[in-house]
Amino acid sequence: MSEVRVGVVFRPELPPEKLRETVVAADEAGIEELWLWEDCFLEGGLTSAAAALAWSERLTVGIGLMPVPLRNVAAVAMEIATLARLFPGRFVPAVGHGVLDWMAQVGARAASPMTLLREHADAVRRLLHGETVSTTGHYVQLDGVALGWPPDQVPALIIGARGPKTVALAGEVGDGVLLDAPLATPEYVASEAARAAEAARAAGRPAPRVIVFAEVEPDVPALGDRARALVAELAAAGATSVILQCPSQHPDPGPLIAALSR
Protein backbone atom coordinates (compact mmCIF):
# COMPACT_ATOMS: atom_id res chain seq x y z
CA MET A 1 0.00 0.00 0.00
CA SER A 2 1.35 3.43 -0.93
CA GLU A 3 1.52 6.09 1.74
CA VAL A 4 -1.82 7.68 2.48
CA ARG A 5 -2.25 11.42 2.02
CA VAL A 6 -3.71 13.41 4.90
CA GLY A 7 -5.82 16.54 4.71
CA VAL A 8 -8.37 18.64 6.55
CA VAL A 9 -11.74 20.13 5.63
CA PHE A 10 -12.67 23.80 5.73
CA ARG A 11 -16.37 23.44 6.42
CA PRO A 12 -18.80 25.92 4.85
CA GLU A 13 -20.34 26.70 8.24
CA LEU A 14 -17.28 28.94 8.64
CA PRO A 15 -17.45 32.35 6.92
CA PRO A 16 -15.42 32.76 3.73
CA GLU A 17 -13.16 35.34 5.33
CA LYS A 18 -11.81 32.60 7.66
CA LEU A 19 -10.45 30.62 4.72
CA ARG A 20 -7.15 32.43 4.33
CA GLU A 21 -6.02 31.87 7.91
CA THR A 22 -6.91 28.19 7.55
CA VAL A 23 -4.84 27.92 4.37
CA VAL A 24 -1.88 29.60 6.07
CA ALA A 25 -2.17 27.37 9.14
CA ALA A 26 -2.42 24.20 7.04
CA ASP A 27 0.58 25.31 4.99
CA GLU A 28 2.69 25.96 8.08
CA ALA A 29 1.62 22.65 9.65
CA GLY A 30 2.70 20.63 6.60
CA ILE A 31 -0.83 19.40 5.85
CA GLU A 32 -0.96 17.88 2.37
CA GLU A 33 -4.54 18.59 1.31
CA LEU A 34 -7.28 21.11 2.10
CA TRP A 35 -10.80 20.22 1.03
CA LEU A 36 -13.84 22.43 0.69
CA TRP A 37 -17.52 21.58 0.77
CA GLU A 38 -20.10 23.20 -1.47
CA ASP A 39 -23.31 22.97 0.53
CA CYS A 40 -26.36 24.99 -0.44
CA PHE A 41 -26.52 27.84 0.22
CA LEU A 42 -23.16 28.67 1.71
CA GLU A 43 -19.85 29.16 -0.13
CA GLY A 44 -19.04 28.62 -3.77
CA GLY A 45 -16.59 25.76 -4.15
CA LEU A 46 -14.75 26.98 -7.23
CA THR A 47 -14.29 30.54 -6.00
CA SER A 48 -13.07 29.29 -2.62
CA ALA A 49 -10.73 26.78 -4.27
CA ALA A 50 -9.22 29.47 -6.50
CA ALA A 51 -8.49 31.67 -3.48
CA ALA A 52 -7.06 28.80 -1.43
CA LEU A 53 -4.78 27.72 -4.26
CA ALA A 54 -3.53 31.27 -4.75
CA TRP A 55 -2.74 31.65 -1.03
CA SER A 56 -0.50 28.56 -1.01
CA GLU A 57 2.28 27.27 -3.21
CA ARG A 58 2.13 23.65 -2.06
CA LEU A 59 -1.32 22.66 -0.76
CA THR A 60 -3.49 20.36 -2.83
CA VAL A 61 -7.03 21.77 -2.78
CA GLY A 62 -10.11 19.67 -3.42
CA ILE A 63 -13.82 20.40 -3.74
CA GLY A 64 -16.03 17.72 -2.29
CA LEU A 65 -18.28 18.11 -4.07
CA MET A 66 -19.84 20.11 -6.90
CA PRO A 67 -23.51 19.11 -7.39
CA VAL A 68 -23.94 18.35 -11.08
CA PRO A 69 -27.60 19.45 -11.32
CA LEU A 70 -26.50 23.04 -10.65
CA ARG A 71 -23.99 23.34 -13.49
CA ASN A 72 -23.74 23.08 -17.24
CA VAL A 73 -21.15 20.48 -18.15
CA ALA A 74 -19.17 22.79 -20.46
CA ALA A 75 -18.92 25.45 -17.75
CA VAL A 76 -17.67 22.86 -15.25
CA ALA A 77 -14.99 21.67 -17.66
CA MET A 78 -13.90 25.26 -18.37
CA GLU A 79 -13.60 26.09 -14.67
CA ILE A 80 -11.69 22.90 -13.83
CA ALA A 81 -9.36 23.39 -16.79
CA THR A 82 -8.61 26.97 -15.77
CA LEU A 83 -7.66 26.02 -12.20
CA ALA A 84 -5.70 23.00 -13.43
CA ARG A 85 -3.62 25.21 -15.74
CA LEU A 86 -3.09 27.93 -13.14
CA PHE A 87 -2.17 25.47 -10.38
CA PRO A 88 -1.02 22.26 -12.10
CA GLY A 89 -1.16 19.14 -9.98
CA ARG A 90 -2.77 20.88 -7.00
CA PHE A 91 -6.51 20.90 -7.75
CA VAL A 92 -8.80 17.89 -7.26
CA PRO A 93 -12.42 18.35 -8.35
CA ALA A 94 -15.20 16.07 -7.18
CA VAL A 95 -18.73 15.93 -8.56
CA GLY A 96 -21.85 14.21 -7.33
CA HIS A 97 -25.61 14.20 -7.01
CA GLY A 98 -25.80 16.91 -4.35
CA VAL A 99 -28.44 16.79 -1.63
CA LEU A 100 -31.58 15.96 -3.59
CA ASP A 101 -33.89 18.07 -1.42
CA TRP A 102 -31.67 21.10 -2.05
CA MET A 103 -31.64 20.36 -5.76
CA ALA A 104 -35.45 20.33 -5.68
CA GLN A 105 -35.44 23.57 -3.70
CA VAL A 106 -33.68 25.39 -6.55
CA GLY A 107 -35.65 23.66 -9.30
CA ALA A 108 -32.72 21.53 -10.47
CA ARG A 109 -33.56 18.02 -9.24
CA ALA A 110 -33.15 15.44 -11.98
CA ALA A 111 -35.67 12.65 -12.49
CA SER A 112 -32.74 10.22 -12.85
CA PRO A 113 -29.75 11.45 -10.81
CA MET A 114 -27.66 8.43 -11.84
CA THR A 115 -28.17 9.11 -15.54
CA LEU A 116 -27.28 12.77 -15.08
CA LEU A 117 -24.13 11.99 -13.10
CA ARG A 118 -22.96 9.39 -15.62
CA GLU A 119 -23.47 11.71 -18.59
CA HIS A 120 -21.97 14.70 -16.81
CA ALA A 121 -18.83 12.97 -15.50
CA ASP A 122 -18.14 11.24 -18.82
CA ALA A 123 -18.44 14.50 -20.79
CA VAL A 124 -16.29 16.50 -18.35
CA ARG A 125 -13.51 13.90 -18.43
CA ARG A 126 -13.51 13.82 -22.22
CA LEU A 127 -13.41 17.61 -22.48
CA LEU A 128 -10.57 17.85 -19.96
CA HIS A 129 -8.60 15.33 -22.03
CA GLY A 130 -8.83 17.60 -25.07
CA GLU A 131 -11.54 15.77 -27.00
CA THR A 132 -14.10 17.43 -29.21
CA VAL A 133 -17.33 16.13 -27.75
CA SER A 134 -20.70 15.65 -29.38
CA THR A 135 -23.36 13.85 -27.39
CA THR A 136 -27.13 13.73 -27.20
CA GLY A 137 -27.77 12.28 -23.78
CA HIS A 138 -30.90 12.58 -21.73
CA TYR A 139 -29.43 15.51 -19.78
CA VAL A 140 -26.16 16.43 -21.50
CA GLN A 141 -26.22 17.70 -25.08
CA LEU A 142 -23.02 18.91 -26.69
CA ASP A 143 -22.44 19.71 -30.36
CA GLY A 144 -18.78 19.71 -31.31
CA VAL A 145 -17.61 21.25 -28.02
CA ALA A 146 -13.88 21.42 -27.25
CA LEU A 147 -11.96 23.39 -24.66
CA GLY A 148 -9.72 26.13 -26.01
CA TRP A 149 -7.38 25.68 -23.06
CA PRO A 150 -7.49 22.06 -21.93
CA PRO A 151 -5.10 21.37 -19.06
CA ASP A 152 -1.65 20.00 -19.78
CA GLN A 153 -1.88 18.03 -16.53
CA VAL A 154 -5.43 16.69 -16.33
CA PRO A 155 -6.70 16.48 -12.75
CA ALA A 156 -8.36 13.37 -11.44
CA LEU A 157 -12.15 13.68 -11.57
CA ILE A 158 -13.53 12.26 -8.33
CA ILE A 159 -17.14 11.17 -7.85
CA GLY A 160 -18.76 11.56 -4.45
CA ALA A 161 -20.82 8.55 -3.48
CA ARG A 162 -22.72 6.84 -0.69
CA GLY A 163 -24.95 4.20 -2.25
CA PRO A 164 -23.48 1.13 -3.95
CA LYS A 165 -24.66 2.12 -7.44
CA THR A 166 -22.93 5.49 -7.26
CA VAL A 167 -19.77 3.96 -5.79
CA ALA A 168 -19.66 1.55 -8.74
CA LEU A 169 -20.25 4.44 -11.14
CA ALA A 170 -17.26 6.24 -9.62
CA GLY A 171 -15.07 3.27 -10.48
CA GLU A 172 -16.54 2.96 -13.96
CA VAL A 173 -16.38 6.57 -15.20
CA GLY A 174 -14.42 8.52 -12.56
CA ASP A 175 -10.82 8.56 -11.44
CA GLY A 176 -11.74 7.99 -7.82
CA VAL A 177 -14.48 7.89 -5.24
CA LEU A 178 -15.13 10.24 -2.33
CA LEU A 179 -16.67 8.55 0.72
CA ASP A 180 -17.93 10.84 3.44
CA ALA A 181 -17.93 11.05 7.21
CA PRO A 182 -21.21 9.53 8.44
CA LEU A 183 -20.36 6.17 6.88
CA ALA A 184 -16.57 6.17 7.07
CA THR A 185 -15.90 3.12 9.22
CA PRO A 186 -12.98 0.92 8.18
CA GLU A 187 -15.45 -1.85 7.22
CA TYR A 188 -17.45 0.48 5.00
CA VAL A 189 -14.34 1.92 3.37
CA ALA A 190 -12.99 -1.57 2.65
CA SER A 191 -16.22 -2.78 1.06
CA GLU A 192 -16.77 0.33 -1.06
CA ALA A 193 -13.12 0.58 -2.12
CA ALA A 194 -13.43 -3.00 -3.37
CA ARG A 195 -16.70 -2.17 -5.14
CA ALA A 196 -15.19 0.83 -6.93
CA ALA A 197 -12.07 -1.13 -7.88
CA GLU A 198 -14.11 -3.99 -9.34
CA ALA A 199 -16.18 -1.57 -11.42
CA ALA A 200 -12.98 0.06 -12.68
CA ARG A 201 -11.50 -3.32 -13.64
CA ALA A 202 -14.68 -4.27 -15.48
CA ALA A 203 -14.51 -1.01 -17.44
CA GLY A 204 -10.81 -1.49 -18.22
CA ARG A 205 -9.84 1.54 -16.16
CA PRO A 206 -7.06 2.04 -13.59
CA ALA A 207 -7.71 1.43 -9.91
CA PRO A 208 -9.56 4.47 -8.53
CA ARG A 209 -8.41 6.74 -5.78
CA VAL A 210 -10.34 6.31 -2.53
CA ILE A 211 -10.72 9.61 -0.70
CA VAL A 212 -12.39 9.42 2.70
CA PHE A 213 -13.82 12.27 4.75
CA ALA A 214 -13.58 11.22 8.40
CA GLU A 215 -14.91 13.17 11.36
CA VAL A 216 -13.01 13.76 14.58
CA GLU A 217 -14.05 15.68 17.67
CA PRO A 218 -11.58 18.54 18.22
CA ASP A 219 -11.74 18.41 22.03
CA VAL A 220 -10.82 14.76 22.61
CA PRO A 221 -7.69 14.00 24.64
CA ALA A 222 -4.54 13.45 22.58
CA LEU A 223 -6.25 14.74 19.43
CA GLY A 224 -3.18 14.27 17.24
CA ASP A 225 -2.75 10.65 18.29
CA ARG A 226 -6.44 9.92 17.74
CA ALA A 227 -6.38 11.54 14.32
CA ARG A 228 -3.29 9.62 13.24
CA ALA A 229 -4.77 6.35 14.48
CA LEU A 230 -7.93 7.01 12.46
CA VAL A 231 -5.86 7.76 9.37
CA ALA A 232 -3.98 4.48 9.81
CA GLU A 233 -7.20 2.49 10.23
CA LEU A 234 -8.77 3.94 7.10
CA ALA A 235 -5.56 3.59 5.08
CA ALA A 236 -5.42 -0.08 6.01
CA ALA A 237 -9.01 -0.39 4.76
CA GLY A 238 -8.08 1.01 1.35
CA ALA A 239 -8.17 4.80 1.60
CA THR A 240 -5.57 6.60 -0.48
CA SER A 241 -6.38 9.98 1.11
CA VAL A 242 -7.94 10.59 4.52
CA ILE A 243 -9.41 14.05 4.93
CA LEU A 244 -10.22 14.87 8.55
CA GLN A 245 -13.00 17.22 9.50
CA CYS A 246 -14.51 18.60 12.66
CA PRO A 247 -18.28 18.27 13.31
CA SER A 248 -20.73 20.98 12.27
CA GLN A 249 -21.19 22.24 15.83
CA HIS A 250 -17.42 22.85 16.12
CA PRO A 251 -16.39 23.44 12.50
CA ASP A 252 -13.09 25.29 13.03
CA PRO A 253 -10.24 22.99 11.90
CA GLY A 254 -7.64 25.08 13.74
CA PRO A 255 -7.19 22.71 16.72
CA LEU A 256 -6.99 19.74 14.38
CA ILE A 257 -4.39 21.42 12.18
CA ALA A 258 -2.32 22.31 15.24
CA ALA A 259 -2.52 18.72 16.51
CA LEU A 260 -1.33 17.38 13.16
CA SER A 261 1.51 19.86 12.83
CA ARG A 262 4.72 18.10 11.90
pLDDT class for 166, splitting at 50, 70, 90?
very high
Q: pLDDT class for 1, splitting at 50, 70, 90?
A: very low
pLDDT grade for 209, boundaries at 50, 70 and 90: very high
Instruction: State yes or no: pLDDT of 259 exceeds 60.
Output: yes
* Mean pLDDT computed over every residue of the chain: 96
- Report long-range pairs for 140-147 (Cβ below 8 Å, ≥24 apart): 140/73, 140/116, 142/73, 142/74, 145/74, 147/77, 147/78, 147/81
pLDDT level of residue 125 (50, 70, 90 thresholds): very high
3-class SS letters over the chain? CCCCEEEEEECCCCCHHHHHHHHHHHHHHCCCEEEECCCCCCCCHHHHHHHHHHCCCCCEEEEEEEEHHHCCHHHHHHHHHHHHHHCCCCEEEEEECCCHHHHHHCCCCCCCHHHHHHHHHHHHHHHHCCCCEEEECCCCEEEEECCCCCCCCCCCCEEECCCHHHHHHHHHHCCEEEECHHHCCHHHHHHHHHHHHHHHHHCCCCCCEEEEEEECCCCCCCHHHHHHHHHHHHHHCCCCEEEEECCCCCCCCHHHHHHHCC
29-39 residue pLDDT tens:
999 999 999 99
**From CA 229, how far away is CA 226, in angstroms rounded?**
5
Residue 163: pLDDT above 80? yes
Q: Which domains does the chain have, with CATH numbers?
A: 5-260 (3.20.20.30)
Q: Given a cut of 60, is residue 2 above it in pLDDT?
A: no
Task: Report which of residues 135 and 219 the model is more confident about.
Answer: 135
Ranges 58-62, 126-130, 160-164, 216-220: which has the least confidence: 216-220
Percent above pLDDT 70 for the chain? 99
